[in-house]
Amino acid sequence: MDTDFRRQAQQDMAKQLDASLLPIRQAFLSTLIQRVIRFEALKQDLEAGQDMATALSGVANLAHKMAGVAETLGFGEIGIFAAEVDRAITGGRIAGQGDTDIWHGIEDTLEQLLDAMEAQLDD
Amino acid sequence: MRFLAVDDEPLFLQLLETRMQGLGYPDLTKVKSGAEALTLLGVDRGFDCLLLDIRMPEMDGITLCRKIRALDGYGATPIVMVTSMSDRSYIDDAFAAGATDYITKPLERIEIKARLGMIAQWDAQTKMLKASQMQSPLSSYEIEPNYNFEDPITLPNVDRLISYMAMENYLLTLGLKTTTTLRAFAVHIENARSFYAHPKRAAFVDMIGDVATVVLESLKADNVVFSYAGGGTFVCIVRGEMQEDIEDVEVATNLYMTGFEEFYADENLPNPIIHFGSVVKISGFSLSRPTRLPELAIAAVENAVFKSSRPRGKLQVI
């Protein structure tokens, strides 16, 4: 899907959000910067090949937590990328893939997720 | 209704609380881990429904579900898994651990409304039954004796026997496409009514528990979901191939049951006469609904018992 189109759809969804969810949406936004910093630190470990198993688990857990709430709060793009990263790591492990292969498989999607999160910080 | 939600993501707990308040369920207690939940449930037996995340650090939701089922007072309380994990293996494990229902995140308002509505209806009926219950000795399976013969009663103390509501939810969660890969058969106790009519009401529930235990033992299979459908009939859903011949299982079950003869004779009761129906499945081209599968299995066993014409040994695709 085109990124601008996605963002527009996301903004439309946010407008339609139940007013009662707005404080939670705000709380989610306030945690975004910490989540980006954690993702970046784990990404550095993965790029350096340091304790990749722990770093991948960290990425999967962070992504999993975001995937469960982002879409409902109107951040559809973040939710979709987060779920994709989580699924690729857990699925890769179940399928017996090595850590390096899993990392290369999620690298681009993780970057897209970070872009989507940073775009919300810019807004 | 009092709810307890367990999730390690505080924002999700807030989201759930807001959604539930909007739907008229304001009484929600939130905890962030399985350990916290077990501590709380150990001292408070008053929760009416538990909502569990699956993926949590230290203790996952499936382990937590299994531990809750072993707690006093929580054998039959509805447990709903609320999770992002939509893989088949998680769904199978959750229901095998005793879950009643399964909702996938992200949380859709309409879905949570429908699922909680069903639980609330069940809760209201259960409470009404308890309120109108006659004083009568409980059976060793600890179920209140005020029920009809046709009711799909839940027996919390029988290992691997799930409630009929949970079985239907399991099939609905899997969806029609996956359900067409499953097989099912039903088990009927021909003389169940004579147990139900016995002055000692607990005799019926005890017998249902005995038969469930013996059938599960005879099946020697882990890939089954077994449930009591009411009216003296059980339904067994088989994931994958049947490992045992159904006629062999029927013979083994009736043979095992002879070991109970003495106990039943003491109460002037006959030994249960157990029939197995044909193995059925839903055709891949069917436009049916997933819950049609147990209905077909029940129809097959009724056909076998009442018409005494049992074309068994081959699979019936309907």
Show the tokens assigned to B199.
């002055």
Q: Specify whether the CB–CB gap between B170 and B225 falls below 8 A.
A: yes
Chain A neighbors of B18, CB-CB under 8 A: 18, 20-21, 24
pLDDT by 10s per residue, chain B, length 318 = 999 999 999 999 999 999 999 899 999 999 999 999 999 999 999 999 999 999 998 899 999 999 999 998 898 899 999 988 877 888 989 998 999 999 988 888 888 898 999 899 888 877 776 665 544 545 555 454 567 899 898 887 777 788 899 999 999 999 888 888 899 999 999 999 999 888 887 888 889 999 999 999 888 777 888 999 999 999 999 987 777 788 888 988 999 898 888 888 888 889 999 999 999 988 776 677 889 999 999 999 988 887 654 444 444 554
Instruction: Kindly report which listed range (A12-16, A35-39, B6-10, B272-276) carries the lowest average pLDDT score.
Output: A12-16
Q: Specify the pLDDT at position B134.
A: 47
Distance CA B272, CA B257 (A): 7
Nearest chain B residue (CA) to A87:
B85
* ipTM value: 0.82
Comparing CB atoms, the residue among B11, B14, B84 nearest residue A83 is B84
Distance CA A104, CA B296 (A): 48
Comparing CB atoms, the residue among A21, A69, A86 nearest residue B12 is A69
For residue B253, give Cα distances in angstroms to A113, B48, B250. 56, 36, 5
**Which of B6, B11, B13, B85 to mutate to test binding with chain A, by most A CBs within 10 Å of its CB?**
B11
Nearest to B109 by CA among A9, A116, A21: A21
Q: Specify the pLDDT at position B106.
A: 83
Residue A19: phi, psi to the nearest 5? -55, -30
Helix/strand/coil for B313: coil
Q: Specify the pLDDT at position A21.
A: 87
- Are A79 and B107 within 8 A, CB to CB? no
User: What type of residue sits at position A22?
Assistant: L
B198 inside 8 A of chain A by CB? no
B311 inside 8 A of chain A by CB? no
Chain A neighbors of B22, CB-CB under 8 A: 18, 20
- Are A31 and B57 within 8 A, CB to CB? no
Q: Specify the pLDDT at position B78.
A: 93
Instruction: Kindly report which listed range (A1-15, A99-113, B145-159, B277-291) carries the lowest average pLDDT score.
Output: A1-15
B110 inside 8 A of chain A by CB? no
pLDDT digits (tens, 9 = 90+) for B159-204: 778 889 999 999 999 988 888 889 999 999 999 999 988 888 788 8
On the question of a cis peptide bond just before residue B106, with omega within 30 degrees of 0, the verdict is yes
Chain A neighbors of B110, CB-CB under 8 A: none
Q: Specify the pLDDT at position B311.
A: 47
Helix/strand/coil for B236: strand
pTM score, two decimals? Answer: 0.79
Q: Specify the pLDDT at position B304.
A: 81
Distance CA B317, CA B165 (A): 24
Q: How far is A20 from chain B (nearest CA, A)?
A: 7
A32 inside 8 A of chain B by CB? no
Q: Specify the pLDDT at position A16.
A: 56
Q: Specify whether the CB–CB gap between B271 and B258 falls below 8 A.
A: yes
Nearest to B238 by CA among B149, B170, B318, B159: B170
**Over residues A106-110, mean pLDDT:** 95
Chain A neighbors of B14, CB-CB under 8 A: 24, 27
Comparing CB atoms, the residue among B14, B83, B106 nearest residue A24 is B14
Distance CA B183, CA A29 (A): 47
Q: Specify the pLDDT at position B308.
A: 54
Mean pLDDT for all residues in chain A: 88
Check whether A1 has a pLDDT greater than 80: no
DSSP string, B118-155: HHHHHHHHHHHHHHTPPP----TT---S---TT-----
Tell which wins on pLDDT, A10 or A106.
Answer: A106
Q: Specify the pLDDT at position B122.
A: 83
- Are A70 and B55 within 8 A, CB to CB? no
Check whether A9 has a pLDDT greater than 80: no
Kindly provide the b/e burial profile for residues A104-116, where b requires at least 16 CB atoms within 10 angstroms of the residue's own CB: ebbeebbebbbeb
Chain A neighbors of B109, CB-CB under 8 A: 18
Distance CA B220, CA B211 (A): 15
For residue A106, give Cα distances in angstroms to A83, A90, B89, B244. 11, 11, 23, 43
DSSP string, A92-104: HHHTT--HHHHHH
Match 């699956």 to its residue by tokens: B54
- Are A68 and B8 within 8 A, CB to CB? no
Strand partners, B228: B234
Handedness of CA B136, B141, B143, B146 (dihedral sign): negative
Residue B260: phi, psi to the nearest 5? -95, -5
Chain B neighbors of A68, CB-CB under 8 A: 9, 12, 53, 83-84, 105-106
Distance CA B275, CA B273 (A): 7
Q: How far is A34 from chain B (nearest CA, A)?
A: 14
Helix/strand/coil for B187: strand
B105 inside 8 A of chain A by CB? yes
B84 inside 8 A of chain A by CB? yes
Distance CA A9, CA A74 (A): 9
DSSP H or E segment with residue B114: helix B109-131
